[in-house]
């Protein structure tokens, strides 16, 4: 069976967990930081349906046929402030093609007003839909054990890759290229 392993440097994961982890014990965080996260290649992405900042409903099922990049984040996550500018570059590169959809999913329970204010205050305004109403459990179902966490879903709806920690635009583009090549 084909499998892939998503790994990050233990130090980077430890930073992500310390800055943006949940209330899990230190032992659980340490064990997770030291472990490689393994998933069956192209495991089906958990379905979701949430409203964006403008009240529009977004369903993962409606995005079949496109590569979907999901950024799981929270307003209380200090490193998360850096991700929108990188993802805005990805959005700009694929805007004309329409083959890639980028979504931000806020998992900390913030309101639309709080998310907008956070974006303005931190120069982190996303040029892609931000979905509200999810919680950390959704991110965990995707394998995210810290934030920010970036998931790339292939056009058939399978999870292609997961990265915990900040992702630069070039890294996201490389993950998208891998999906398109397969």
Residues 117-129 have pLDDT tens digits of: 999 999 999 999 9
Mean predicted confidence (pLDDT) in 91-111: 96
Q: What is the pLDDT of residues 5-18, one digit of tens each?
A: 333 333 343 344 44
Place of tokens 């369903």: 59
> What pLDDT is recorded for position 40?
56
**Nearest-5° angle of CA 32, CA 33, CA 39?**
60
Break the chain into its structural domains and give their ranges: 42-181
Are the CB atoms for 159 and 60 separated by under 8 Å?
no
Query: If you average pLDDT over every residue of the chain, what do you get?
Result: 83
Residues facing residue 149 across a β-bridge: 72, 164
Per-residue confidence at 42, pLDDT binned at 50, 70, 90? confident
Alpha helix positions (H), 95-163: 112-121, 136-141
> What pLDDT is recorded for position 12?
40
Per-residue confidence at 1, pLDDT binned at 50, 70, 90? very low
Per-residue confidence at 64, pLDDT binned at 50, 70, 90? very high
Per-residue confidence at 21, pLDDT binned at 50, 70, 90? low
Is the pLDDT reported for residue 107 higher than 80?
Answer: yes
Q: Kindly give, in sequence order, each residue whose CB lies less than 8 Å from that of residue 134, ignoring residues fewer than 6 positions away.
A: 48, 50, 72, 105, 106, 107
Is the pLDDT reported for residue 169 higher than 70?
Answer: yes
Architecture of the domain whose range is 42-181: 3-Layer(aba) Sandwich (3.40)
Place of tokens 């956070």: 118
Report how far residue 4's alpha carbon sits from residue 103's, in angstroms, rounded to the nearest whole number. 23
């Amino acid at each position: 069976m084909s499998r892939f392993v998503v790994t990050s440097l233990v130090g980077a994961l430890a930073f992500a967990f310390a800055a943006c982890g949940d209330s899990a014990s230190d032992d659980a965080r340490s064990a997770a930081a030291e472990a490689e996260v393994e998933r069956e290649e192209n495991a089906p992405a958990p379905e979701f349906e949430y409203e964006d900042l403008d009240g529009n409903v977004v369903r993962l099922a409606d995005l079949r046929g496109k590569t979907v990049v999901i950024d799981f984040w929270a307003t209380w996550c200090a490193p998360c402030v850096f991700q929108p500018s990188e993802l805005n570059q990805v959005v700009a590169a694929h805007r004309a093609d329409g083959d890639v959809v980028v979504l931000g999913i806020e998992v900390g329970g913030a309101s639309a007003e709080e998310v907008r204010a956070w974006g303005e205050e931190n120069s982190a305004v996303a040029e892609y839909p931000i979905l509200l109403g999810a919680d950390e459990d959704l991110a965990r179902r995707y394998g995210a054990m810290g934030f920010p966490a970036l998931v790339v879903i292939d056009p058939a709806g399978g999870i292609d890759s997961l990265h915990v920690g900040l992702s630069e635009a070039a890294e996201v583009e490389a993950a998208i290229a891998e999906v398109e090549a397969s």
